[in-house]
Amino acid sequence: MNLNLFTINSYKFFLLHFYIILTLYTIMKDLFDRCKFGDLELNSRIIRTGLWESQREKTGNLTPEIYNRYENMAASGVGLIITELYSLYPRDVFSKYTNTVNYTHFARETRDLADLVHIYDVPIFAQLGFVQFNKENQQNMKVDDLSIDDLRKIQTDMIIAAQKFDLAGFDGIQIGLGNYYFLSRFINPNFNSRQDRYGGSTLNRLKLILEMIKVIKDNTRLHINCRLNAFDGTTNGMTLNETIDIAKLLEKHGVDSLQITRPRSPQYFTRENTQENPLINATEQIIKNINIPVILGGGSSGQNQINEILNSTSIDFISMQRPFVKDPSFLVDWQIEGNGESSCITCNNCYWKKTSTCHIRSCDPKLY
Ligand code: SF4
In a domain, 2, yes or no: no
Dist CA 103 CA 82 (whole Å):
20
Query: Which residue CA neighbors atom 2 of ligand 1 most closely?
Result: 347
**Which stretches does DSSP call E strand in the chain?**
35-37, 40-42, 46-49, 80-87, 99-100, 124-129, 172-177, 223-229, 257-261, 294-296, 317-320
Query: Which residue CA neighbors atom 6 of ligand 1 most closely?
Result: 358
Dist CA 148 CA 166 (whole Å):
27
In a domain, 220, yes or no: yes
Query: Which residue CA neighbors atom 8 of ligand 1 most closely?
Result: 344
3-state DSSP assignment of residue 180: coil
With contact defined as beta carbons under 8 Å apart, do 171 and 124 qualify?
Answer: yes
List the single range of 74-83, 95-104, 107-116 with lowest mean pLDDT. Answer: 95-104
| Chain mean position to CA 367 | 24
- Compute the average pLDDT of residues 342-365: 83
In a domain, 107, yes or no: yes
Query: Looking at ligand 1, which atom is closest to the CA of residue 349?
Result: 1
Could you tell me the CATH number of the domain that includes residue 351? 3.20.20.70
Query: Which residue CA neighbors atom 7 of ligand 1 most closely?
Result: 344
Q: What is the pLDDT of residues 300-350, one digit of tens each?
A: 889 999 999 999 999 999 999 999 999 999 999 999 988 999 999 989 999
Check pLDDT > 60 for residue 3.
no
Query: Looking at ligand 1, which atom is closest to the CA of residue 358?
Result: 6
**Which stretches does DSSP call E strand in 185-265?**
223-229, 257-261
Domains: count for the chain: 1
In a domain, 3, yes or no: no
Dist CA 351 CA 328 (whole Å):
16
Q: Give the pocket of ligand 1 (CB within 6 Å).
A: 322, 325-326, 344-350, 358-360
Note the pLDDT of residue 293. 98
Query: Which residue CA neighbors atom 4 of ligand 1 most closely?
Result: 350
Query: Which domain range does residue 49 map to?
Result: 30-363
Check pLDDT > 70 for residue 178.
yes
- Compute the average pLDDT of residues 15-28: 64
Note the pLDDT of residue 18. 63
Q: Indicate the top mutation candidate among 343, 359, 361 to test ligand 1's pocket, ranked by most ligand atoms within 8 A of CB.
A: 359
pTM of the model: 0.90
In a domain, 125, yes or no: yes
CA 169 to ligand 1 center in whole angstroms: 31
In a domain, 351, yes or no: yes
Query: Looking at ligand 1, which atom is closest to the CA of residue 346?
Result: 3
Which residues on neighbouring strands pair with residue 175, listed in sequence order? 128, 226
In a domain, 83, yes or no: yes
In a domain, 154, yes or no: yes
Query: Looking at ligand 1, which atom is closest to the CA of residue 325?
Result: 5
Distant-in-sequence contacts of 115-121, Cβ < 8 A, 24+ apart: 115/169, 116/67, 116/70, 116/71, 116/74, 117/70, 117/71, 117/73, 117/74, 117/81, 118/169, 119/74, 120/43, 120/71, 120/74, 120/75, 121/41, 121/43
